[in-house]
Every structure is written in structure tokens, then in C-alpha cells.
A and B are shown apart, each in its own frame.
Chain A
């Protein structure tokens, strides 16, 4: 599904080059459940941003579904994200003045895909995640776990090929966090490709494949 060839990323502070990623070679196939693990400062977030097409590498090549995405401009990238990738964040990032179902529907506004009856689909997704009674609640009326479920429903509404989750349990207690991880596992069992970025070693057990990032390179890549 995605292939990264010798991806390098540096930030420049004045004249000084600060290398973050030092040549990442990585291939992830459709249907995988990958845990991308690394401590803070290891470069895992930068790698996620590049995989999620939110940032561009300084060097190297990136293929998404066998298609080079390196030359795409802002507009095409936005459409590409909308079409292919569902994002989940640590802070949920729900819009506070919209209720659960309206939050789930946001990607539809920008979607070129022909999603039939998006409202019904959003309702089904929320119901499947145990939020049938909460669809008209504002984020402030939901618990952290519930908010993250709404965010996951939002990531799924547009039928993406890849789910990209950045510390999805970081703001949750461990019990709720485990429930969220079970949810990702369930989605993966349904055939979705899922990449979860985390610093938390306890999450390693939920993945089928563990990729460890250390100091801008892949230090471990193993499948269970």
C-alpha cells in the first residue's frame, strides 16, 4: 500500500541542518496493523506526517498505492488525504460547536467520493461504536473515550484505505485506551490498513507488526 524509499527529513535552524529522519526504507501492505513506536524526539511524528501527506520529505521517494505523491501540490494533497487517509489524533480535534454526527460528517463536505446517504452511514458508525444515544451531543458532553470514538468514526466516514492514528490513547486512561485499541483491531479485522504511532510500549501487543524508530532510523521491524 505504501512504500518509502530512503526518506530523509531535516529542519534548518539558521544555517545548521537538524536531521530528523535519516533514511527510512519501509513498505506497508494493505491489511496490516502496524505499531510505529518511538520515544519523543525519535522522528516518529515527522514520519507520520510524511506518511499522512501533511509534510514533505527533504529527500527520498514516497509511493502511495503505487503512485508517487512527491510532486503533488497542496490542493491535490488535500483531495488525496480526503480520499485515501483517515486521521485520528491524541487530542481528538473535534469541533466544539458541532455535535457528534456533524463532526463525523466533516470530511464528506470536501469529498468527491459518492458516499450514499452519509448521515445514515455516520449514524451507523456511531451506533457500532456504542454511541447511538449520543449522536446529538456536543464534544463537551462526551467522555474522552467517547470523543475518540467520534473521531474514529470521522476517520472512517469517507471509506479511506489507510487509518493513521497519532497517540490515539495518549489522552485516555489505560482501560479506555485498551478499548480504543480493540476498536482499531476490529477495524483491521474488517480489512482496514491501520498505522498507530505511539511512544507507549504497552500498545505493542495490539499490533501485528512493530516498527521501532530510534534517532531517525528504523531500529527494529518485526511481525508477530
Chain B
């Protein structure tokens, strides 16, 4: 049996070599089908991983509350109406009243130039409570984060992003040095590791974090905040939580029915998963295209196998004469059509992976192999090869030796 299959395999390969152009043509359909399935599967898992990475880099299980309403106009542009109605007290109530909420980080963010000696740099300043470092996953390479005590004591202390340190201090030790923010000398107590640009386009390395109380009383003298990060336990349904926050916020702000919200609530998933919606649409199109390609590929193999069988009457005849049974003839031609389909499938996987590499390189996605699509591709290729080979193989058994050998 092994010897027989091995023999069929060698014969099939010899035939492939003899009829190169024809065989390549017939396996193109399968090649394209597998290529698109594999490339798409790989690329979309890379994209998903990138999104997951971005989410976990930004902080897990976060709902973001912002003052002012973001709404979508008829032309699809985003509009933002400013509001000064969000107070620190509101956030405290949220923390007290809402189930599932583990941490709340009120913040105020703005852009302002920071100065050190001769150098000035436009930075994003964020005043926030000390728990922002855990909630937002902010790791330091130097110094320490500020604490609740720094916040309570309205200390002018700052933790700065990597580029702030790099641009203002070059290689000097920044810890304990003062930079000027709002003309107030502020002591640098920590430097954040390099984080790059986040999904909103914000350069994380240009951030300067200061205690919220310091910001509100010493720099800016304001009584409202811009927003809050709300972190929940694992496994909480974020869209349901969003609704609960909204209801509570409307009550706190005494909004009547018919009045618009004066705040917005969103999650990272809202922003990032819309991209996955896009991926899902493309995936349906890819699957349809693959099915069509597999069908065309199957027809191609079917046609070539029919041709091959009718060209090889003599071979069938002589095989029958020397002892081949009809089922051996069928097995032989099925082996051939499956091998053609498999070669198409394997070539498709290789080309699909090459496409993945190129797209991942330019798209900045991590390179991932979508194992499920790869195995599925191989499996479907074999099935298509079998299905396309059955009829031609049966035709092959109709040639009787005495008819084709004289």
C-alpha cells in the first residue's frame, strides 16, 4: 500500500513536470483561494493583536467620561460642545454609587509649553489623581510617580514623558530639576518609559503628569475637570456600564428629558472595535471570493484531469493488462488531482504568508499566522482535489485494454 501510494505519487509528480504549464494553470484557482484566505486570516489576526495591544497599553477595562458632548453631524463629522459642568464631586459620587467600578481617575488635560533653561517644548499636561499610574499602566524608567500625599499637599511635582526628558535634558539627570509650567517651577520626580503614539494620535512621550489638585489650584485656578477614567472589574459588560454611568450623570446634573447630555462616555473598544467591524466586512468578502476561487480551481482541475485521462488511454490500458484493477486506476487519478490541488494550496499558503509579511511591515502589525485558516485551506484543497478528480477517474475505468491497445 505504501509502495503503491508512493508510486502513484511519483507518477503524479512526473506528470506534473511533463505538463508544467497546464498543471500550473489548473491549480491557480486553488492558489488564489488559499492565498486570500491565508493572507486575510494572518493580517486580520495581526490587526486584532495590534488593537488588543493598544487597548492593554492604554489601560484595561476603561470607560472614559468626558465633559462636553461629542456628537455626529449629518455629514458624519464629529462636533464637540465645550462644557464646564463636570465637577470633582460628580466623579466622587460615581465612584461611591456605581457597582463594578474599581478606580476612578479624574483629570484635566491641556496643552502648554514647558521650559527648562533655554529650551521650550509644547507638551500635553495632564493633572490627575495618583492612581492614574496604575489605571493607565504607566511605567517609569527613572524616579517615582507622585502620590496621594503629593496631591493633597498640592505639591508642584511632575512625572514627564520620555521625549520631554530627552528634548529638555538631553542626557542630564532630570530628577530633582525644575521645569517651568505656567511660569511655576515644577520639580521633576519621574520619567516615563517610551510609549509612542497611542490610537488617538496623541504622542504619549510628550505627556507631563501633575497632581490634579496642584493643577486646579496652583496652575489654573478652576473648579471643573475635563473628564475621568473609570476602571471596572474584569468581565463587566462595558456598554451596560456606560448606560448606568450616563443615567447617574444625568441625575447628578439634573438634566430633564429632552435635554442633551453635557458629557460623553466612550470606551476604547468603541473606538477600536469599529476597525474590527471593517475587518469583519472584509472577511465576509474574502470568504465569498475564496469560495468562488475554490470552485473555479475545482473546475480547472476537473477539466485538466479529464484531458489527462483521455490522453492516457494507452497508460490505462497497459496498467489494466499488467494487473491494475479499476479501483487502482481511480486511486491513481485521485492521487494526482489531490496532489495538484495540494500544490496549489501550499503555494497559496506561501504566497499568502509573503503578502502578510509585506502588509504587516507597512501596516505596522505584528506578524501572526492564522493557523485555523491555514489548516482549513489545506483541508478544503484536498476536498476540492478529490471532488474534481472523481468523475475523470471514473471515466478512466471505462477504457478497456483491448480497445485502447490495438
**CB <8 Å contact, A79 and B14:** no
Minimum Cβ distance to chain A for residue B46 (Å): 43
Q: Say yes or no: A87 contacts B325, CB within 8 Å.
A: no
| Residues of A close to B325: CB separation below 8 A | 74-75, 78-79, 110
Q: Are B322 and A110 in contact (CB under 8 A)?
A: yes
Which residues of A are interface residues toward B (Cβ below 8 A)?
A: 45, 49, 52, 54-55, 74-75, 78-79, 81-83, 87, 89, 91, 93, 95-98, 102, 105-111, 154, 158
Are A49 and B3 closer than 8 Å at their CB atoms? no
Contacts of B401 in A (CB 8 A): 54
State which of A49, A78, A105 has its C-beta within 8 Å of the C-beta of B323: A78
Interface pair A110/B11, CB less than 8 Å apart? no
**Which residues of B in the span 221-278 have a Cβ within 8 Å of any Cβ on A?**
none
Contacting residues, chain A, for B7 (C-beta < 8 A): 105, 109
Contacts of B144 in A (CB 8 A): none
- Docked Cα-Cα span, A102 to B3, in Å, equals 13
User: From residue A138, how far is it (CB to closest CB) to chain B in Å?
Assistant: 10
- Does B4 make an interface contact (CB < 8 A)? yes
CB-based contact B318/A95 at 8 Å: yes
What residues on B are CB-neighbors of A79 within 8 Å? 323, 325
User: A195 → chain B, closest Cβ, in Å?
Assistant: 15
Asked whether A95 lies within 8 Å of B315 as measured between CB atoms, the reply is yes
**A83 cross-chain contacts in B, Cβ below 8 A:** 323
**In contact, A93 and B405 (Cβ under 8 angstroms):** yes
* A93 adjacent to B323 (CB under 8 Å): no
Is the CB–CB distance between A111 and B323 below 8 Å? yes
In angstroms, Cα B318 to Cα A82, docked, is 11
22 pairs, CB–CB < 8 Å, chain A vs chain B: A52-B321, A54-B321, A54-B402, A74-B325, A79-B323, A81-B322, A82-B323, A89-B405, A93-B314, A93-B321, A95-B315, A96-B18, A97-B11, A97-B14, A97-B15, A106-B319, A106-B322, A107-B323, A109-B324, A109-B328, A111-B323, A158-B322
The listed residue (B10, B18, B320, B405) touching A78 by CB distance below 8 A is: B320
Identity of the chain B residue whose Cβ is nearest the Cβ of A157 in the assembled complex: B322
Report how far A55 CA is from B401 CA in the complex, Å: 9
Minimum CB–CB distance for A46 against chain B, Å: 9
Residues from chain B with Cβ under 8 Å of A75 in the complex: 325-326
User: A109–B322 Cα gap in the complex (Å)?
Assistant: 10
Q: How far is the CB of B357 from chain A (nearest CB, A)?
A: 37
Cβ proximity bits B13-33 to A, threshold 8 Å, 1 near / 0 not: 011011000000000000000
Question: Contacts A98-B11, A109-B3, A109-B4 hold; do A87 and B402 have CB atoms under 8 A apart?
Answer: no
- Top 4 nearest A-B pairs (CB, nearest first) are A82-B323, A110-B323, A107-B322, A97-B14
Query: Which chain B positions have C-beta within 8 A of A78?
Result: 320, 323-325
- Identify the closest chain A residue to B13 (Cβ): A97
Task: Verify B18–A154 contact, CB threshold 8 A.
Answer: no
Q: Is the CB of B402 within 8 A of A49?
A: yes
- Knowing A95-B315, A97-B15, the reply to whether A81 touches B406 (Cβ < 8 A) is no
The 0/1 profile, CB within 8 Å of A marked 1, for residues 297-337 of chain B is 00000000000000000110111111111101000000000
Point out which of B3, B317, B326, B402 has the most chain A C-beta atoms below 10 A from its C-beta: B402
Instruction: Verify A154–B402 contact, CB threshold 8 A.
Output: no
How far is B326's CA from A89's CA once the two chains are assembled, in angstroms?
Answer: 21
Q: Who on chain A is nearest to B406 by CB?
A: A45
The smallest beta-carbon distance between B399 and chain A, in angstroms, is 12
Q: Quote the shortest CB–CB distance from B240 to chain A (angstroms).
A: 67
Which residue of chain A is the closest to B18 with respect to CB atoms? A97
Contacts of B148-204 to chain A: CB distance below 8 A: none
Contact in complex: B324, A110 (CB < 8 Å): yes
| A150 to B322 alpha-carbon distance, docked (Å) | 14
Q: From known contacts A109-B7, A110-B322, infer whether A93 and B317 are also in contact, taking CB-CB under 8 Å.
A: yes
- Shortest beta-carbon distance from A48 to chain B in Å: 10
Residues on A with beta carbons closer than 8 Å to the beta carbon of B319: 106, 110
Residues in A with CB closer than 8 Å to B324 are 78, 109-110
B15: chain A residues at CB < 8 Å are 97
Q: How far is the CA of A5 from the CA of B11 in the complex (A)?
A: 42
Besides A109-B328, A110-B324, 18 more A-B contacts (Cβ < 8 Å) are A49-B402, A74-B325, A79-B323, A82-B322, A87-B322, A91-B405, A93-B317, A93-B321, A93-B405, A95-B11, A97-B11, A97-B17, A97-B18, A105-B7, A107-B322, A109-B3, A110-B4, A110-B323
Give min CB distance, B17 to chain A, whole Å: 8
Q: Mark B389-406, 1 if CB is under 8 A from A, else 0.
A: 000000000000110011
List chain B residues, Cβ under 8 A from A82: 322-323
From A91, A105, A106, A154, residue with most partner B Cβ within 10 Å: A106
* Distance, CA A110 to CA B318, complexed state (A): 12
Whether B4 lies near A93 (C-beta < 8 A) is: no
CB distance from A120 to the nearest CB of B (A): 15
| Distance in Å: Cβ of A109 to nearest Cβ of chain B | 5
Q: How far is the CA of A89 from the CA of B322 in the complex (A)?
A: 12
Nearest B residue to A76 via CB reads B325
Contact A87–B11 (Cβ < 8 Å): no
Q: Which residue of B lies closest to A82 (CB)?
A: B323
- Assess whether B321 is in contact with A81, with CB atoms less than 8 Å apart: yes
Min Cβ gap A166→B in Å is 8
**Nearest chain B residue, comparing its CB with the CB of A99:** B14
Question: Which residues of B from 1 to 57 have beta carbons under 8 Å from A?
Answer: 3-4, 7, 10-11, 14-15, 17-18
Query: Closest residue of chain B to A52, judged by CB?
Result: B321
Query: Which single member of A96, A102, A154 contacts B322 (CB below 8 Å)?
Result: A154
Residues of B within 8 A of A49 (CB): 402
